[in-house]
Amino acid sequence: MLVKISDPNARSLVEIDITFHPEAIRGALASGSGCLGFALRATGFLLLFYLCIGFQLTLPRYLPELWLHPLVILLAYAACRSSLATTLALATLGGICLDAGLARLPGPSALLLIAIAATLHGLAKAPSWPRSHGGLQAILAAAYANLLFVLGNLLFLAGHLPWRTRLALLPAAAGLGTITNALAFAPVLFFCLDAISSLGQPRPQPAPPTA
């Protein structure tokens, strides 16, 4: 398609030749690495993200003995798999939602989650971090995240709770919380998020046999 801009005397000022490639456009929109695949992955991740926020708000009220922190474990996944900017953005949004759900001024939970996300992202970049072992990576990231979240809450976000009570809660929150978050919940959540990340992605083709 030729687009021309002419002056009043019919002299051509600008000519632009536009060529459409239907197959390339169809591939960019509908392929797994194109817009459709990105929309599927983003939708699935955001649904799981808000589901984790909801469970983070309701589980301590109805099942406090589990010490389960779904949003914190999701941020641990983001710290291991995503960029620092994405991880901090998720931590900020999740913290604001937590503060809103707990009917307090926005800020404390967001600052705590940002600190946890930044720390875990730094740990995930360390040379000794087990990048090739998905299960071990999930367990370590969740254990660190749970410990940091528990300590941050008991130290800074426990309100007027006496220090003796805070110290009494620490063994259960750190010990049982590590079991439920790192050993039970984190491998399942990491697997689900990896499955969402692979939605629409082309499967790797096997290497041709060598002669």
Q: What is the CA radius of gyration of the chain?
A: 24
Given this model, what pLDDT does residue 203 score? 56
Going along the chain from its start, the domains and CATH numbers come out as 41-197 (1.10.1760)
Segment-wise mean pLDDT, segments of 10 residues, the chain, 211 residues: 74 77 68 70 90 93 90 94 94 94 89 95 91 87 94 88 90 89 93 84 56 48
pTM: 0.80
CA–CA dist 97, 55 (Å, integer): 12
Given this model, what pLDDT does residue 134 score? 81
Q: Is 22 exposed, middle or buried (0-12, 13-18, 19+ CB in 10 A)?
A: exposed
Helix axes of 70-81 and 35-62: crossing angle, nearest 10 degrees: 150
Given this model, what pLDDT does residue 158 score? 84
Given this model, what pLDDT does residue 17 score? 75
3-state secondary structure of 22: helix
CA–CA dist 167, 150 (Å, integer): 11
